[in-house]
Structure 1
Amino acid sequence: MKDSKGQILKTSLLLFLQKGFKEVTMKEIVKSSGFSKGAFYHYFSSKEEVFKEVIDVYFSQMLHLNYNNLPSNSLQSFYQANLEILQERDNILQSWYRETFEGDFPNNMYYILFDALRLLPEVKEQQTKRIQEELKAWEKVITNALTNGEIKTTFSPQNLAKQFVYSSDGIAMHMIMISSSEKLFKEVKEIWDSLYESVKA
């Protein structure tokens, strides 16, 4: 990807985070990108086209983790590393935002996801696949933790995995009203720590 196109996508992501898809205009995107209208339209012809590529390039990367790079023999190490990576990515987003806009960073990732699910049919399939991959990764780690004696529980690996994954999703949905990434990660860590303590051998 050329730097100019990347800059357009980065600026567009921040605008969508700030206002949501519906409220952002093509004129705003062009102006904020710093490019002339002609240069901008060399890459994109519509707001929908920009949004689709923002989702493909940035949003999917922000949500997707390469679970093969996370610790697999310890449930505690796995979820702690998981949180650390997500926090690092959130910090990058916040840094980008502060370079471009004034005011607090809007924690609107789920707003963008809802827009994407509504406007881009392929996103639903991608998200379903992502969730299944996430659950499989948790199940594998939980199975290893049961085998090596780190945890002990009557829950199946599948059900315990769902408790970890769905609890974080539920907290994230609730925290949209507060728009605080720091509070979101704090809440998720507290819930995951509590879940872990309840099954630790």
Structure 2
Amino acid sequence: MKTEQNILQTAFRLFLGKGFSDISTNEIIREAGATKGGFYYCFKSREDLVLKVIDRYLKPYYLCPIERMEQVWENKRVDMSTRTLLWEGFFAPQRFKAYQEYAGMDIAFRDFYFLLYEGMKKYEEVEHYFAENTRKRELCLRRILERGKERKEIPADANLDSCIVMTLAMQDGILALKVLDDKIDDEEKYRYMEKQMWKDLVGQEAYGPYLDGGVESA
């Protein structure tokens, strides 16, 4: 198991640098300090290795944030204000820092993004994870906002559809910026986005009373 994890981590690190196609099996074995016998004991083929790298490192990027959103929704939605729930149960789980902590590696976002893009073009599994992530993020966001309306923390006439479309598009924009400049603090961008989103939802004039998540907190 230790040999397998070492090879997986080594392969992922090499793929981040050069992509899936430009790294040979021999290079992975050499960099991992393994033997061919050890490699083929753990993996049936190079393709088997790639699929396991996808399962170990790319799949969690898409699925772990959704799992975190579900956990926050189930455990905290009763007592938490909608605005706080919006951050804890939607924006916070998507920070790249959270993924780096999961992977246990300091990863350049640009390298990771390009590997994801290559993976989506070449492997149905990655394309499926991306599509599921997009669908479930939208569902999670809508659920939180509709709950806000029910609790009268968001005005009844607020246009949720427009808000959701804009929020998802702005998130894509933040990712694009981070590809250009890996030093961009995505948490800072998400917090700014959340603040502007909340203003748009409750209206500028009503923003003060809704600042802490509901009119009763004013």
User: Would you say the 8 A contact 1:110–1:173 is kept in 2?
Assistant: no
The residue type paired with residue 29 of structure 2 is: V
2:12 counterpart residue number: 13
Q: 1:4 maps to which residue?
A: 3
Per mean C-alpha deviation after superposition, the further-off stretch among 134-143 and 163-172 is 163-172
What's the TM-score once normalised by structure 2's chain length? 0.74
**Which amino acid is 2:132 matched to?**
K
Q: Which amino acid aligns with 1:90?
A: Q
Gaps of 5+ in 1: 98-104
Partner Cα separation in structure 2 for residue 77 and residue 23 of structure 1 = 45
The residue correspondences of 1:124-135 to structure 2 (distance < 5 A) are: 124-135=127-138
Per-residue deviation at 1:45?
Answer: 4.7
One-letter amino acid of the structure 2 residue matched with residue 14 of structure 1: R
What residue number does 1:117 align with?
Answer: 120
Which range is displaced more, 17-26 or 128-137? 17-26
Q: State the number of aligned residues.
A: 191
Instruction: Please say if 1:196 is aligned against 2:198.
Output: yes
Q: Tell me how far 1:111 sits from its aligned partner.
A: 1.0
TM-score computed with the length of structure 1 as normaliser: 0.79
After superposition, what is the alpha-carbon deviation per residue over 1:66-89, rounded to whole angstroms, capped at 9, x for unaligned?
122124464432342244443332
Residue pairs, 1:1-201, within 5 angstroms: 2-64=1-63, 65-66=66-67, 67-71=69-73, 72=77, 74-81=81-88, 82-85=90-93, 86=95, 87-93=97-103, 95-97=104-106, 105-107=107-109, 108-152=111-155, 154-180=157-183, 183-200=185-202, 201=210
The root-mean-square deviation of aligned C-alpha atoms, in Å, is: 2.5
Deviation beyond 6 Å, 4+ runs, structure 1:
none
Aligned counterparts of 2:156 and 2:12: Cα–Cα separation in 1:
42
| CA displacement, residues 29-58 of structure 1 (integer Å, 9 cap, x when unaligned) | 222323212101222354433222211222
Kindly state the Cα deviation for residue 198 of structure 1 after the two structures are TM-superposed. 2.4
